A and B are shown apart, each in its own frame.
Chain A
Amino acid sequence: MKHLRKFVSAAVLLTLVLGLMLAPVAAQDVPTLTVGFAQEPDSLNGFYTSMAFAQWANDLVVASLWDITDALEAYPVLAAEVPSVENGGISEDYMTYTIHLKEGLMWSDGTPLTSDDLVFTYQMIEDPANNMLQGSTIAEALESVEAIDETTFTLTFNSPKPFPEDLAGAPGLSTILPAHIYRPVYEAEGSIEFADANQDPTVFSGAYVLTEWRRGEQMTFDANPNYTMGEVGIPRIVIRFFPDTETQYAALQAGQLDFVPNVSEGDKARVSTFENVTITTVFGGYIESLWLNIRDEAAPRAGHPALQDVRVRQAIRFALDRQAISDELLAGTVSPTDSIYGGSPFENPDLGVTQHDVDAANALLDEAGWVDSNGDGTRDLDGVELVLRYGTTTAGWRNNIQAVVQQQLAEVGVGTILEAYPASEFFGAWANSGINAVGEYDIAQYANNTALTNPANVTVYEALNCDQIPGEDNQGGQNFTGFCSEEMDAASDITLSSLDGEERLDAAYTIQQIMTDNVPVITLFPRGDNYAYNTTRFAEAPVIGSGVGNQWFAIANWQLAE
């Protein structure tokens, strides 16, 4: 028995030692930038994801026809030049784009990248069998796509498209599929929805190629020798996934991560105190807002009757001290705005910002007839207490804002019931009884997109349009506030289709004024995109793209410290 025990012990020890000796040793000598992502990308085909992290990872391996700098200027990548009316790339009626590719473009496997790839990509966008998450904007707008020669193709639209940056070059829509990889799948299966290359791509056009994807753990990218913009400064990038932000920040603090995107507004102040860590903020294209439910009886649940009165809505805005929210919760890193275009180049500088004014709020509420008649500390009218259901997602920093807003509204006799939901419930569809969709709130806090590279504002034409008010007959409607202004819809149409730049800007200003006067949404502050990085790891501060475009647009120039 004793011999057996000794034999087993020796065998186990020997196996362990041999295992350690024979274990492969990974190369560690390649200069590597280690990035932390809070979520793992769900696809590396840009047409099958709406996830920001997936878009960022895609941006490393996919080159656009043209991209957008941190100064919001378009510059060519695969295209020889950004098309315009002046250079003949866009027809006078803005209906036809003629795009020239650079000569000698190649995929990472050495296959030529030609207009055939572009034509194939647009065919895929247009075929509903592919069941894509992205590309509907361009699919609905396209009349035809035609290859002229190996490096030239034309896009013909069914209406004027004055914004080239929104179309073929925009992130998400800029993904160009390698036809030699996807076409055989499409021909065999009639769809590329389940193509292996969506999850395990092998051919790339961007600055990097994906060399390894360890599911749930990390992605490794190495420099693409065939990248059209030349050699990159950092030969390898490793993206590691940290679902727990505390762990992610600990790894950053311990110097085990070099770069962390998407630092939340609530964590910004804390993270910036880490040794050797700095935070840079770029325009994110989001505005954090309070959406007021002013839907009427026709909706599954109407908003609180008080919100039908514009004076009450204005009073709530007066009652909010948004600067205090910024100072006390967000380390003063954001500035309040009244504009639905806040932070964008099309924000009306003369609009001003409503200042915190408790007296003005009280006066408006009194004038509207909401007074505290029963002495319980909350205003009421005809037996209805002015208590509002205030919901948001379960994000901690949002819940902190909820608590402060509750205190501020209580000062003017407006009560609130705070609610927090998982995103799948809060933003759920009508069929799933989503909180916003069916109006189970009076105040809903979440972010809206603002106008980016042109005055057409997706929030206005999708989430505030009269035709988008949800109901039994319009269950996919996105205007959850129920606000309807035909004047604003007309102005929105102008921002989308007018060929006159000045007219478009005037329309954007009109929209901002209508929104400010009617207050269906109380904008809190434009949200930046916050990136934390270890200063000792970089030779100089990395140039980071805005939320409008590709954060990695300048990555070829990033350099690690020696």
Chain B
Amino acid sequence: MTQYILRRILQALPLLFILSFVLFAFTNALGDPLAVFAESRQRPTASQREEIRRRMGLDRPMFEQYVTWMVGNDWQMIDVNGDGSNIQPGTRRGVLRGDLGVSFVTRKPAWTRIEERLPATLTLMIPSYTITLVLALAIGVYSATRQYTLVDNIITGASFFFYSMPIFFIALMTIYIFGVQFSRWDLPALPIGGTGNGTTIDLIVHMLMPVFCLVAIQLAGYVRFIRSSMLEVLGQDYVRTAHSKGLSESNVVRKHALKNAALPLITLIGLDLPFLLAGAVVTERIFAWPGMGRLFIESFERADVPVMMAILMLLCVMVVVFQILTDVVYTWFDPRIRY
């Protein structure tokens, strides 16, 4: 097993390297990080912007900027004025030496910006994902064991209804009903935006609307997936055998069917888990939730390449890690699998 994990990690390294270059090229094509100052009242002059650009290394060709991002520039001298009159040593150490760069916007380390936002994202995403999985398992199994009954048809219809609903629509409608209209009707309105005043109770109250929206939008897909997976397993010979042995329905479903139906679900969860770190872009934006999704969009709007690259590379690494973990978890669920 250890040998297998090491081999997978070594295989992932060139992949991460190629990904980093492709992502760097894309993020650099987003535009000028200093362009947002164009309509500011107090904007830097053109010559000052050129100097800032040189100091940030934005005047260099893209490939050279990539090399700096990767290995740093503290071994180079920087021509700050562009005319040789002010030569200063570079300050970046590069990703390979643990320096993810400095945000163009706040001039704080890119990793610090992630650290600021990651807890809020996990606070929102882990409960919503957990609730989604628990509900999806319950509803999916219930629906599969009662195929084509009225309840199954209602669940299927509701699944498609929410699955086809854009998240922004659900989110705005939720705000309008529970935030705005409730206050008009003198009902206890839910707070709009943010995480509250720091108390656990207030945090939970602030989470109600975004978690509801995330669950509503994610649940349908999982329910459909578990239902079809269960239906496939319930038709297998070993399930029939279990029934004929006189085992109870719940025993058959839980111990024989669900455990086998869970294998493809583990693959799905393994693929989804890394993206919990990325947050929910639209939900966080609409509910003013201070998470990673919003950080990415804000960085995108300001062409803040170091922060965007830090987020994207974090996700790439997490995808690799969770894929390896998924493979390990397989062996627990299915003793036949060995590496």
A residues with a Cβ closer than 8 A to B are 19-20, 23-26, 28, 40, 42-43, 48, 50-52, 55, 128-129, 131, 133-134, 136-137, 170-173, 193-194, 198-199, 214-218, 240-244, 246-248, 250-251, 253-256, 285-286, 422-429, 431-432, 434, 436, 446-447, 449, 462, 468, 475-478, 547
Contact pattern, B 171-197, Cβ under 8 Å of A = 1, otherwise 0 = 010011001100100000101111101
Residue of B nearest to A23 (CB): B200
Contacts of A42 in B (CB 8 A): 105-106
A431→B42 contact, CB < 8 A: no
Contacts of A20 in B (CB 8 A): 200-201
Q: How far is the CB of A529 from chain B (nearest CB, A)?
A: 10
Give bound CA distance, A25 to B200, whole Å.
Answer: 9
A171→B41 contact, CB < 8 A: yes
Q: How far is the CB of B294 from chain A (nearest CB, A)?
A: 6
**Known A51-B40, A128-B86, A425-B35; contact A193-B290, beta-carbon cutoff 8 A:** no
**16 sample A-B contacts, Cβ–Cβ < 8 Å, listed by A number:** A128-B51, A216-B289, A217-B195, A247-B288, A250-B180, A254-B192, A286-B39, A422-B30, A423-B31, A425-B31, A427-B38, A429-B49, A434-B31, A436-B38, A446-B39, A447-B39
A133→B175 contact, CB < 8 A: no
Q: Is B295 at the interface (CB under 8 A from chain A)?
A: yes
- Central interface residue in A215, A425, A447, by most chain B CB within 10 Å: A215
B41→A247 contact, CB < 8 A: no
Contacts of B298 in A (CB 8 A): 40, 243
In B56-93, which residues have CB < 8 Å from any A CB?
58-59, 80-81, 86, 88
Q: Is B96 at the interface (CB under 8 A from chain A)?
A: no
A254→B291 contact, CB < 8 A: no
**Known A243-B294, A428-B32, A429-B35; contact A256-B53, beta-carbon cutoff 8 A:** no
Q: Which of B38, B113, B194, B197 contacts A26 (CB 8 A)?
A: B197
Q: How far is the CB of A4 from chain B (nearest CB, A)?
A: 15
A194→B285 contact, CB < 8 A: no
Contacts of A547 in B (CB 8 A): 41
**Known A193-B107, A217-B194, A241-B288; contact A424-B179, beta-carbon cutoff 8 A:** no
Contacts of A170 in B (CB 8 A): 42
Give bound CA distance, A477 to B46, whole Å.
Answer: 7
Give bound CA distance, A425 to B29, whole Å.
Answer: 9
Q: How far is the CB of B244 from chain A (nearest CB, A)?
A: 25
- Central interface residue in A20, A50, A242, A436, by most chain B CB within 10 Å: A50
Q: Is B146 at the interface (CB under 8 A from chain A)?
A: no
B-side interface residues, number (CB < 8 Å)? 72
A26→B199 contact, CB < 8 A: yes
Contacts of B179 in A (CB 8 A): 250-251, 254, 256
Q: Which of B36, B81, B192 contacts A427 (CB 8 A)?
A: B36
Contacts of B35 in A (CB 8 A): 423-429, 432, 434
Q: How far is the CB of B59 from chain A (nearest CB, A)?
A: 6
A50→B40 contact, CB < 8 A: yes
Contact pattern, B 282-306, Cβ under 8 Å of A = 1, otherwise 0 = 0001111111001101100111000
Q: Which of A40, A48, A128, A250 contacts B176 (CB 8 A)?
A: A250
Q: Is B122 at the interface (CB under 8 A from chain A)?
A: no
Q: Is B327 at the interface (CB under 8 A from chain A)?
A: no
Contacts of A429 in B (CB 8 A): 32, 34-35, 49, 53
Contacts of A285 in B (CB 8 A): 41
Q: Which 6 A-B pairs have the closest CB atoms?
A: A216-B290, A424-B31, A427-B38, A172-B42, A428-B32, A23-B200
Q: Which of A216, A247, A426, A431 contacts B192 (CB 8 A)?
A: A247
Give bound CA distance, A255 to B37, whole Å.
Answer: 33
- Central interface residue in B42, B117, B192, B301, by most chain A CB within 10 Å: B42
Give bound CA distance, A27 to B252, whole Å.
Answer: 54
In B150-188, which residues have CB < 8 Å from any A CB?
172, 175-176, 179-180, 183
Contact pattern, B 40-55, Cβ under 8 Å of A = 1, otherwise 0 = 1111111111111101
Q: How far is the CB of B118 from chain A (nearest CB, A)?
A: 11
- Central interface residue in B40, B80, B197, B294, by most chain A CB within 10 Å: B40
Contacts of B44 in A (CB 8 A): 50, 133-134, 136
Q: Which of A173, A242, A424, A447 contacts B303 (CB 8 A)?
A: A424
Q: How far is the CB of B67 from chain A (nearest CB, A)?
A: 18
**Known A50-B42, A136-B44, A427-B39; contact A215-B194, beta-carbon cutoff 8 A:** no
Contacts of B107 in A (CB 8 A): 43, 48, 193-194, 198-199
